[in-house]
């Protein structure tokens, strides 16, 4: 199983919207739909191929365009963290069709995305991991971490999520964060000054 990953760092506050494609089947998912423009729509190509809209946490820059995707790609399932549902509703986000929790599996063709709960940046934040990559939202960045001064954020919880959950993963796992460029778990363990 192998993924093609395209990043569109065009969302509000430089948020990274990812389009991932299972190379065996062509099935696609958008992770953190903060950007909706002609480039990403061209790359999706066929409406039937977009299976999921996946959200890592309940901040507006990450879900800003989810309604536009839902309107255009009516068969795509919007899935969001159960632990952030109240925050999503308060922020005016459309209601998810599927709520995600620790251990859930999103099947995208031959690719399986595991849900890992990583609260701290928000109370219900999650990451999506395969055997080769992980999409960390605003939990872990290259040489930085998510802020915890917004509603439901907590510094100690964030540090625990990173050190106990993310840093227990393979060092060569590629990290695709919600802002900034990619990194690896191993590099962050050695060089991230915040953890």
Residue numbers of the domain that contains 174: 3-191
Query: What is the enclosing helix (H) or strand (E) of 18?
Result: strand 17-22
Model pLDDT, residue 1 = 63
**Cα torsion 116, 118, 124, 127: sign:** negative
Please state, for a pLDDT cut of 70, what percent of the chain lies above it.
99
Give me the residue label for tokens 């005016």: 92
pTM of the model: 0.97
The 10s digit of each residue's pLDDT in 37-96 is: 999 999 998 888 999 999 999 999 999 999 999 999 999 999 999 999 999 999 999 999
Buried b (16+ CB within 10 A) or exposed e, 153-190: bbeebbeebbeebbbebeeebbbbbbbeeebbbeebee
**What is the tally of structural domains in the chain?**
1
- CATH number of the domain where residue 74 is located: 3.60.15.10
Q: What is the pLDDT of residue 8?
A: 97
């Amino acid at each position: 199983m192998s993924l093609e990953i395209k990043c569109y760092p065009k969302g509000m506050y430089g948020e990274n919207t990812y389009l991932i494609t299972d190379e065996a089947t062509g099935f696609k998912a958008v992770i953190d739909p903060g950007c909706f423009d002609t480039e990403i729509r061209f790359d999706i190509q066929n409406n039937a191929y977009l299976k999921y809209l996946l959200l890592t946490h309940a901040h507006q820059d990450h879900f800003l365009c989810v309604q536009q995707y839902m309107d255009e790609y009516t068969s795509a399932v919007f899935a969001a963290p159960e632990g952030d549902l109240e925050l999503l509703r308060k922020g005016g986000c459309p209601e998810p069709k599927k709520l995600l929790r620790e251990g859930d599996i999103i099947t995208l063709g031959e690719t399986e995305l595991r849900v890992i709960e990583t609260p701290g940046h928000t109370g219900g934040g999650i990451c999506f991991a395969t055997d080769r990559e992980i999409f960390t939202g605003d939990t872990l960045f290259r040489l930085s971490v998510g802020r915890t001064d917004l509603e439901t954020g907590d510094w100690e919880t964030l540090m625990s999520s990173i050190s106990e959950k993310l840093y227990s993963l393979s060092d060569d796992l590629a990290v695709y964060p919600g802002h900034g460029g990619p990194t690896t778990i191993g590099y962050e363990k050695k060089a991230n000054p915040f953890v």
